[in-house]
């Protein structure tokens, strides 16, 4: 399985990514080892994740999600 996930950073900003192990990736973010963006905005917490059986589908969804305005992102998250 692959997951598209959304993190809420300490400053209230959102970070979106994809992975095949969401819990491990969250730990990496909070350990400051996953991305430069989240490293300076710790702690982060996962507020959404969507499962996909194919990596390509997860990547396509991530790109689509990142293109949304914040309000639209929050609407997508609220559908979970």
Chain-centre distance for alpha carbon 48: 7
Q: Residue 1 sits in which domain range?
A: 1-55
Instruction: Measure the CA–CA gap between 71 and 76, rounded to whole angstroms.
Output: 9
Domain-embedded: residue 80:
no
- Name the β-bridge partners of 44: none
Q: What is the pLDDT along the chain (80 residues), one digit of tens a residue?
A: 999 999 999 999 999 999 999 999 999 999 999 999 999 999 999 999 999 999 999 999 999 999 999 999 999 999 99
- With a CB cutoff of 8 Å and minimum separation 6, the contacts of 37 are 9, 15
Q: pTM of the predicted model, to two decimals? A: 0.95
First to last CA, the chain: 18
Number of domains in the chain: 1
Enclosing H/E stretch for 2: strand 2-8
Domain-embedded: residue 42:
yes
pLDDT at 77: 97
């Amino acid at each position: 399985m692959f997951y598209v996930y959304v993190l809420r950073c300490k400053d209230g900003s959102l970070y979106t990514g994809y992975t095949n192990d969401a819990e491990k990736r969250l730990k990496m973010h909070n350990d400051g080892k996953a991305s430069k963006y989240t490293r300076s905005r710790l702690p982060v917490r996962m507020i959404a994740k969507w499962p996909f059986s194919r990596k390509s589908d997860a990547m396509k969804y991530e790109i689509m999600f990142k293109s949304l305005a914040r309000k639209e992102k929050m609407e997508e998250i609220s559908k979970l």
